[in-house]
């Protein structure tokens, strides 16, 4: 009789394996059966925790939003919009696998309570960064969308290696230089 493998924290082990696959090959390569094989459990075991591929990717995205919130909450109190933008870009580069799925609603269960809570937490962590726009001169929603568009777009272009070589190879310095244009334009 074959010995059954017991896994201490199967949910986390599958999430970790999924993040590795996402980092190496992207969302299309994520397969519950393959992940089960990678962590040494039966092919049905991951489904017990996640239901299906969408449930797993939703859990990865929720973990990503929590990691983003952690990153932003670790900024010193003296930080501003520029610092938050650079932290966002750094997060995207350091946690590329999470970033790849966090903003892909077609891959996720939008009504998942853990996902919604993690999204709200990261939104609250970003909210302080646009506080400087609340002087009445700029709609804070528009300001937030502008700031997010800039840093998210920059992070995406960086990850896809689509930026000009002249931007350099230091992601934080490049992100800071680009984001300064937004900050200077908004707060002359």
Q: Rounded to 5, what percent of the chain is helix, strand, coil?
A: 75, 0, 25
Which pLDDT tens digits describe the chain residue by residue (188 residues)? 333 445 568 899 999 999 999 999 999 999 999 999 999 998 888 888 899 999 999 999 999 999 999 999 999 988 888 899 999 999 999 999 999 999 999 999 999 999 999 999 999 988 877 776 656 677 878 888 888 899 999 999 999 999 999 999 999 999 999 988 766 665 55
Structure tokens at 131: 């506080």
Beta-carbon count within 10 A of 56 CB: 25
Check if the beta carbon of residue 89 is closer than 8 Å to that of residue 154. yes
CA separation, residue 118 to residues 18, 46, 112, 127 (Å):
19, 22, 10, 14
E strand map for 40-182: none
Phi, psi of 80 (to 5 degrees): -130, -170
DSSP class per residue in 131-145: GGGTTTTS-HHHHHH
């Amino acid at each position: 009789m074959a010995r059954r493998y017991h896994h201490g924290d199967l949910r986390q082990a599958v999430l970790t394996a999924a993040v590795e696959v996402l980092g190496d090959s992207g969302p299309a390569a994520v397969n519950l059966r393959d992940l089960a094989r990678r962590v040494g459990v039966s092919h049905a075991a991951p489904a017990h925790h996640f239901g299906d591929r969408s449930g797993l990717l939703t859990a990865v995205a929720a973990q990503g939003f929590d990691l983003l919130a952690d990153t932003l909450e670790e900024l010193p109190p003296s930080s501003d919009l520029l610092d938050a933008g650079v932290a966002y870009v750094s997060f995207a580069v350091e946690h590329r696998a999470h970033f790849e799925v966090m903003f892909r609603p077609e891959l996720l269960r939008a009504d998942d309570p853990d996902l919604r809570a993690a999204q709200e937490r990261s939104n609250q962590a970003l909210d302080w960064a646009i506080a400087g726009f609340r002087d009445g001169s700029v709609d804070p929603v528009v300001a937030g969308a502008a700031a997010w568009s800039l840093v998210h777009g920059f992070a995406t272009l960086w990850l896809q290696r689509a930026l000009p070589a002249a931007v350099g190879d230091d992601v934080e310095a490049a992100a800071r230089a680009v984001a300064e244009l937004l900050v200077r334009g908004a707060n002359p």
